[in-house]
Every structure is written in structure tokens, then in C-alpha cells.
Amino acid sequence: MDLDLVTSILAIATFAGASLVLATIGEIFTERVGILNLGVEGMMIMGAVTGFATAYRTNNVWLGVVVAGIVGGLMALVHAFATITLRADQIVSGLAITLLGTGLASFLGQVIGPDGGPLVGLTGPKFTKWPIPGLSSLPLVGEGFFNQDPIVYSLFVVVPVSWYFLYKTRPGLYLRAVGESASTSDAVGVSVFGRRYGYTVLGGVMAGVAGSHLSLSYTPGWTENLTGGRGWIVIALVIFATWNPARAVVGALLFGGVNAIQFRLQAEGTNLPASILNMSPYILTVLVLILITRTDKLRQTIGAPAGLGIPYHREERE
């Protein structure tokens, strides 16, 4: 592989991986506080359709991002209400939200275009790339890291801040404590309900924004099934990243880049079985899953939240 090929693969992996990083870090916050949200796919696709529709009507991509975030947050609020207040099964509620989101997005895509018509096939405003002078011409990483759109650049802040917040600050410690053992946290006076609501909604906002990155930048425009299952990749990515925002970046580059890599190899005429490359990130995810369920010690070292998926009920404390 020559240098140009590596450069361009890195550029595509970053661009393709950006929405994955955002949604994954959002889901890490949600799962770290003990709530499993399988509604990511539904929130991403709703973010994609509402973000594009808003940008199309207002001719302002930033408004599109804001609306996408609000929509994602509102959907997460439904999940939070169902699972935290009503203590419904988190898996069922999450799946219902994904089904609702994909259905509603298809429906909206047919009626919120101009004159109540479809959005499909319209060309609207989109993010353009902002090359950073000097840095963007660096060999190898210049194209991938410094010739991107503003959403990708925002990750330079979001990723380190999320990591620092989670591991180095007191609110981050409380967050993780709630996900580890809600009853213990409650006993020492750390609010369980408020935190669970807050971080679930935050996760939804990030998923919505991630969806709008697809419809406003990566594949500008709206087509049904635009997210193509990327919300499910996010669920796998959280495990792959072992609930750590920094490792989520590595994972997202890998998951995002693997298609680009195998397509490049195909286009260059290399006869490598594409399916093997395509499934490699998932094999690694399964491996991580096996490892963390094997031993409690390893689980603790890695930091999988012990209280994930368990509803908390004050009066039924164990």
C-alpha cells in the first residue's frame, strides 16, 4: 500500500466515522449511567430527516443540526420516561423507539418536503469542508484530520472533554457510580433519577446530531433508510470501546474505515474476500463480549457498568 492510499483511506474513515463517534459517545454516557438505549438507530434516522428538512427550509445547516439534536433528545426523553419512571424493560422500549423512529422518518420524508411533498431527491444546503491552512497539507493525517467539516472538527473537543469528564471529574464519578450501583449511589445521596434522565437525553441529542451529519454532510440529502443500520453499529461500538470515549474513536475509525478499505482494495483489483474484512470489527466485538463476561475482575478493569439495564426502584432496594 502506498502512502496516498493510506492517506485517502484515513480521510474516508474519519469522515465516515464521525457520526459513529458522536452517537457512540452519547450511548456511552447513557449506558454508563445504567440505561441501555437500543433506540439509537431510530434517533439517528429521525435526526437525519428532521435535520435535512430544517436545513432545506431555512437554508441554514446549523439550524438543521440543532433541530436534529432536539428531536433526538425528545425521543430519548420518551425512553427515559418509560424505563426510569415507569421502569419498563429497557430492551423493549429501545426497540420500540427504533421501530417508531424508522417508520416516522419514512413517513415524514414523504410529507415534509416543499408543499407537503416528499423530501427524497431534493438538493439542499450541506456542510462544506473547511481545510485548515498549513495543517491540511500535512502528509498522511492532513487530509483526514484537517480537511473536514465543522462537525468532524467538533470531535477534537467532544472526545477529550467526554473522557476527562467521565474519569477525572466528580460529576463523572457520580455518573459512573449510578451505573455501577444505583442503590449505593442513592444511599450516599447521589441523585439516581435526575442523572439517569439527564444522560439518557444527552445520549439522544448526540445520536440526533450524528444522524444530521449523515444527511447534511456525508451523504447530503434524504433517502429512506439513510442510516443503513449505523445505529446498531453504535451499540456494538460501545462494547468494542469498552464504554470508554477515547477507545470509541479507534473503534469508529475501524468500523467506518473498513468499508472504504475493502472497496479501495477491490477497485485496485486485489482479490481479498470483502466479507472477511467487513465482519472483522464484529468479530472483535464478540471477543470483547466474551472476555468481559468470563471474569468479574476483567469486567471491572475494563469498566463495564454493572448496573446496566437494571431499573432502580427505591422501595425495592436489595
At 130 the three-state DSSP class reads strand
| Interface with other proteins, residue 3, by CB under 8 A | no
Q: Which is nearer to other proteins, 86 or 161 (CB)?
A: 86
List CB contacts of 125: < 8 A, sequence separation 6 or more.
55, 56, 59, 60, 61, 64, 216
CB of residue 218 to other proteins, shortest distance in Å: 6
Q: Based on CB atoms, which residue is closest to other proteins, 46 or 177? A: 46
Q: Based on the shown chain and the rule CB under 8 A, indicate whether residue 217 belongs to the binding site for other proteins.
A: no
Q: Judged by CB under 8 A, which of 40, 96, 155, 248 binds other proteins? A: 96
Least CB distance from residue 91 to other proteins, whole Å?
10
CA distance 84 to 94: 12
Long-range Cβ contact pairs of 270-279 (< 8 A, separation 24 or more): none
* 131: Cβ contacts below 8 Å, ≥ 6 apart: 146, 147
Nearest to 238 by CA among 189, 176, 290, 304: 304
First to last CA, the chain: 57
The neighbouring-strand residues paired with 131 are: 147
Q: Nearer to other proteins by C-beta: 194 or 228? A: 228
Cβ 4 to other proteins shortest distance, Å: 9
Query: Is 230 a binder of other proteins (CB under 8 A)?
Result: yes
**Contacts with other proteins in 267-296 (CB under 8 A)?**
267-269, 274-275, 278
Our CB check for other proteins shows the closer of 26 and 231 to be 231
Phi, psi of 130 (to 5 degrees): -110, 90
Q: What is the number of other CB atoms lying within 10 angstroms of the CB of residue 217?
A: 22
Using CB under 8 A as the criterion, what x/- string covers residues 111-150 for binding other proteins? -------x-xx-x---------------------------
Q: Is 89 in the site for other proteins (CB under 8 A)?
A: yes
The reply to whether 90 sits near other proteins by the rule CB under 8 A is no
| Site for other proteins, residues 29 to 58, rule: CB under 8 A | none
What span, in angstroms and rounded, lies between the C-alpha atoms of 44 and 68? 8
**Binding positions for other proteins, rule: CB under 8 A:** 8, 12, 16, 82, 86-89, 92-93, 96-107, 109-110, 118, 120-121, 123, 214, 218-221, 223-226, 228, 230, 259-260, 263-264, 266-269, 274-275, 278
